[in-house]
Structure 1
Amino acid sequence: MNVTVGAKPVPSAQASQAEALRAEASIEPDAPVTSEPKKETQIIAIYGKGGIGKSFTLANLSYMMAQQGKRVLLIGCDPKSDTTSLLFGGRSCPTIIETSSRKKAAGEQVIIGDVCFKRDGVFAMELGGPEVGRGCGGRGIIHGFELLEKLGFHQWDFDYVLLDFLGDVVCGGFGLPIARDMCQKVIVVGSNDLQSLYVANNVCSAVDYFRKLGGNVGVAGMVVNKDDGTGEAAAFAAAAGIPVLSAIPADDDIRRKSASYEIIGKPGSPWAPMFEELARQVAEAPPVRPTPLTHDALLGLFKGEAVGRGVTLDPATMEDMCAAELVTKPSLEVVYEGA
């Protein structure tokens, strides 16, 4: 209904609203997106006992992933700063902690080219740590990640970010990915020996603990390195409820090439199929909540003669501690009646 004022009709509010709706309906919608959806970055923390072969595994794994067309960032979070040495043929790259201190003293800003380096499609960096007796390694890791955030860590575009963490140390910074949900899943590297499986079990315990508190990180599985076929690591994985992603044999060719800083996870190499399969497993294995073992259950994976079972704990006495017979003196304590 229109209202006439003089010679010009004035549209009613209802008519105006109807015209606005018609105009809005006539606008063509955006064309549907047909491109491939962007994948979420998988951030994976790899834990294990010092010297068990985390850096060897990660260098070859990251190299193979890059050769498969994946964008991979490898971050060494071990104070020894040796994660990337195999990748770079034995050369050490400047660490984030060292570079940050040097640049700060010079009044300069750290840029990505100061701390991140490339080889054949793999991007790599080392957090580093303090010198012996001059600081806390865990705090160094926290500081390193704070600097990574300033450099734009959350805006970087990678398919995989692999974090190499020392599993022996349990103080704050080393548990960062698990405690703060900084990664989606954890992989443990172990061998058929009690000490490496003890560390792997500790990592599983940490994951289980933070899951109880509402965390989301899970264990994707275990890589058995230097596998001699005795089976303790596989038995641990089965008992903890996690899969074995790969078993890297205790082979002399692998040992020699690793010692000479040679990548064996190259397409076409004799060991390529093993790392191709590991890359697939790492990508696809879902994070699960593990079932950590008790210490006795962990010992039960090994033969008695291997771990010294049957030994009893004989309590020491004060005479033992002083290497002499002690004279028992009467107490001078005053005891009041009714006290």
Structure 2
Amino acid sequence: MTETQIIAIYGKGGIGKSFTLANLSYTMAEHGKRVLLIGCDPKSDTTSLLFGGRSCPTIIETSSRKKAAGEKVSIGDVCFKRDGVFAMELGGPEVGRGCGGRGIIHGFELLEKLGFHEWGFDYVLLDFLGDVVCGGFGLPIARDMCQKVIVVGSNDLQSLYVANNVCSAVDYFAKLGGNVGVAGLVINKDDGTGEAQAFADAVGIPVLAAIPANEDIRRKSANYEIVGSIGSPWEPMFAALAKEVDLAPPRRPRPLTQDGLLALFKGEAVGRGVTLLPATMEDMGGLAAAAARPSLEVVYEGV
């Protein structure tokens, strides 16, 4: 049996990770691959496009319910399939009631109890929120849980800022002996302005695919339709992406500084030329606030 490729996909919320992964996994399955798609975003919407807009029970929610009833979680409670693609959602805590990152850690502990490392898939695709500042979302990178990372971005500063943070996390853990690398960048909603390509060149990773900003894709995605199926005009693009995802080696990126990232954009696009003016105490509360006040510090002589 061939080794399972575990691939973590990161990107800014709303950039199109779920769209990319639903179509990528569907195309892979149509070409005979065994694919497991795991949503690791607390929004639990990774698999909604795959299932025509329907949400599936999350692992964390199901585990809590089963535990309260004194029952064990079975694979059929949390894993669902469509046309050869297997999919599940880790889930997360209720809004305002917990840490999403800790939910991810708990979810993977449950997966291991269900036999995660013994499952026989060609690919396991993990959809992660790009906030790798949180240890839970950085788990696959920090613990070598995947072989490589793919970032999804667009030609805008915020999505490339997140992509650069992911590259920084990979570089940081590589310095500590980690083995995870970045396989490349998928440009979504590509309008041809070129900033995402320039970012990929600057950090030393390839562009695996450029998905155009196209009305047909937008409309079908909004209606929860798969656009990467055989017979679709977009299938060759996702088939080519599937091949790149399979073959692209993990690389150690060269993350950019904030100024280096800003330099990819035109000055009028990011507000360069603005001067940072230090505030004064007068600015904060008037002259009275700036006046010296007696100290309450106790000073001991001879100390």
Q: TM-score, normalised by structure 2?
A: 0.97
Cα distance change on mapping 1:318 and 1:113 into 2, 3 Å: same
Q: Distance in 1 between matches of 2:154 and 2:277?
A: 32
Matched, 1:192 2:155: yes
Query: What residue in structure 1 maps to residue 128 of structure 2?
Result: 165
Query: What residue in structure 2 maps to residue 9 of structure 1?
Result: none
Question: Contact 2:281–2:290 (CA<8 Å) still a contact in 1?
Answer: no
Q: Distance in 2 between matches of 1:49 and 1:245?
A: 18
Query: What residue in structure 1 maps to residue 283 of structure 2?
Result: 320
Q: Match of 1:120, as an amino acid? A: D
Q: Greater relative contact order (Cα 8 A, min sep 6): structure 1 or 2?
A: 2
Structure 2 segments unaligned to the other structure (5+ residues): none
Q: Distance in 2 between matches of 1:327 and 1:140?
A: 46
Structure 1 segments unaligned to the other structure (5+ residues): 1-37
Question: Contact 2:132–2:166 (CA<8 Å) still a contact in 1?
Answer: no
Query: What residue in structure 1 maps to residue 256 of structure 2?
Result: 293
Summarize deviations over 1:75-96 as a string: whole Å, max 9, x none. Answer: 0000000000000000000000
| Structural mapping, 1:17-56, within 5 Å | 38-56=1-19
Cα distance change on mapping 1:331 and 1:158 into 2, 3 Å: same
Identity %: 84
Q: Secondary structure at the match of 1:125?
A: strand
Q: Match of 2:232, as an amino acid? A: S
Q: Distance in 1 between matches of 2:132 and 2:234?
A: 31
Cα distance change on mapping 1:296 and 1:338 into 2, 3 Å: same
Summarize deviations over 1:36-60 as a string: whole Å, max 9, x none. Answer: xx21000000000000000000000
Q: Which runs of 4+ in 1 moved over 3 A?
A: 323-327, 329-339
Q: Secondary structure at the match of 2:137?
A: helix
Q: Secondary structure at the match of 1:203?
A: helix
Query: What residue in structure 1 maps to residue 68 of structure 2?
Result: 105
Cα distance change on mapping 1:317 and 1:159 into 2, 3 Å: same
Matched, 1:304 2:267: yes
| Structural mapping, 1:1-339, within 5 Å | 38-326=1-289, 328-329=291-292
Structure showing greater radius of gyration is 1
Q: Distance in 1 between matches of 2:273 and 2:24?
A: 42
Question: Contact 2:36–2:85 (CA<8 Å) still a contact in 1?
Answer: yes
Summarize deviations over 1:117-157 as a string: whole Å, max 9, x none. Answer: 00000000000001111111001000100000000111100
Summarize deviations over 1:159-210 as a string: whole Å, max 9, x none. Answer: 0000000003521110000000000000000000000000000000000000
TM-aligned CA deviation for residue 323 of structure 1: 3.7
Query: What residue in structure 2 maps to residue 29 of structure 1?
Result: none
